[in-house]
Amino acid sequence: MDITTLTQQYATHFNAKPEIIVRAPGRVNLIGEHTDYNDGFVLPMAIDRAVWLALRPRDDRQVRIYSLELETESGFLMDSLIRDSDWIEYPKGIAYELQKNGYNLRGFDAVMTGDVPRGAGLSSSAAVELAIARAFAVVSGIEWNAVEMAKLAQKAENEWVGVNCGIMDQMASAACKDGQALFLDCRSLEIQHAPLPPGVSVVILDTSTRRGLVDSAYNERRSQCEEAARWFGVKALRDVRVEDLSKWKAESGLSEIAFKRARHIVTENARVLEAIKVMRQGNVSRLGELFNASHDSLRDDFEVTNDALNVMVECAREQEGCHGARMTGAGFGGCAVALVKQEQAEAFTQAVSMLYGQRSGLEASIYVCKASEGASIVQG
């Protein structure tokens, strides 16, 4: 992001210089898909694409935000918050949750921009939420607690905006460290940082297909996981070990489809735990194998890929320098993620883009990413 341009845009719109600039990143989940609502483990990474706010504190409790992308200003008074359905509901929800939790907030004028692709499964909404939370914290003199702010942001999205997301997106945007992935236990909310192996690029491969209306498929899989947990006699599939899977038989009372869903979750949790170990050992070859196994499980057992995701992953895996590739996010469209040798990342990007276009008839958007810092103050 060009801070000079953002500062100029603020001056143009508000006829003043901004005093503070904050940012909060989008994220890509490296491994651990659909494990979050099974009390499991995930391994996201904040990416070097973010939402940025240039702002000045106000002396009252009004918030005004001008969106560069939408070319529109919206705002609210913190003493009279009313739900609506505009983009401003995300900032409004953050203000509501912060106040509900006893924080005394000060208003601000801001210009907002960002380069996290919307609808691609890279958590553009969580980036907005955490950038707003960071802005409120700095103008209101609130000590920044990444985990606490992530929880409040999730609650804002669940209860104010009405989107039933898990905690991973907000935690990644709030708490990630530069150059590292974030291991998150979705039951205890314990976090650990794990370094990315040296000499490796993380490449996001956007299929240009979007998830569409998949709520019913998501809810169906959730209930199948709950059915399997009951059969295994546990609170959640997080408590089932890989060796426990051998107990299942076709006539056991658990449907084959529910067992397949369970097998994905149980083996995926095991893959996340192994991924942490091999990252700390710098074993990128094994990490790539875990990526591949994760995608195959999501394709065959959880059945949440689509043709475009499968084609994209195949194109990536065929390239020299690719350690492994998998779909990332909820599935049914969106993005894949690949681990690629750094020196071959540019050639990889060009080759996959061309091959994917030939095989799918679609145009890919490909981003070579760095692991970035969570929500932070850039200036002021």
Regarding whether 204 and 173 lie in a shared domain, the answer is no
**What confidence tier does 164 reach under pLDDT thresholds 50, 70, 90?**
confident
Q: What is the pLDDT of residue 266?
A: 98
Q: Give the CATH number of the domain where residue 214 resides.
A: 3.30.70.890
Regarding whether 252 and 355 lie in a shared domain, the answer is yes
DSSP assignment, residue 176?
A: -
Which one of 166, 195, 224 terminates a domain? Answer: 195
> CA dist 307 to 1, 208, 288, 293, 310, Å?
34, 12, 21, 18, 5
Residue 263 lies in a domain: yes
For the chain, what percent of residues have pLDDT higher than 90? 89
Regarding whether 269 and 247 lie in a shared domain, the answer is yes
Which one of 195, 226, 259 terminates a domain? Answer: 195
Kind of pairing between the strands at 62-67 and 41-57: unpaired
- Look up the domain containing 180 and give its range: 3-195
Residue 379 lies in a domain: no
Q: What is the CA radius of gyration of the chain?
A: 21
Residue 61 lies in a domain: yes
Regarding whether 209 and 82 lie in a shared domain, the answer is no
Mean pLDDT within 84-101: 96
Q: What is the pLDDT of residue 16?
A: 97
Cβ-contact 54, 96 below 8 angstroms: no
The active-site residue, picked from 36, 169, 206, 301, is: 169
Cβ-contact 317, 351 below 8 angstroms: no
CA-to-CA distance for 57 and 1, rounded, in angstroms? Answer: 22
**What confidence tier does 163 reach under pLDDT thresholds 50, 70, 90?**
confident
Regarding whether 82 and 27 lie in a shared domain, the answer is yes
Regarding whether 211 and 188 lie in a shared domain, the answer is no
Per-residue pLDDT reduced to its tens digit, 241-296: 999 999 999 889 999 999 999 999 999 999 999 999 999 999 999 999 999 999 99
CA-to-CA distance for 293 and 299, rounded, in angstroms? Answer: 10
- Count up the domains in the chain and report the number: 2
Q: Which long-range CB contacts under 8 A does 285-291 form with residues at least 24 apart?
A: 285/323, 287/197, 287/323, 287/324, 287/339, 288/322, 288/323, 288/324, 288/339, 289/324, 290/31, 290/324, 291/30, 291/31, 291/323, 291/324, 291/325, 291/326, 291/337, 291/338, 291/339
Active site residue 239: no
Higher pLDDT, 78 or 118: 78
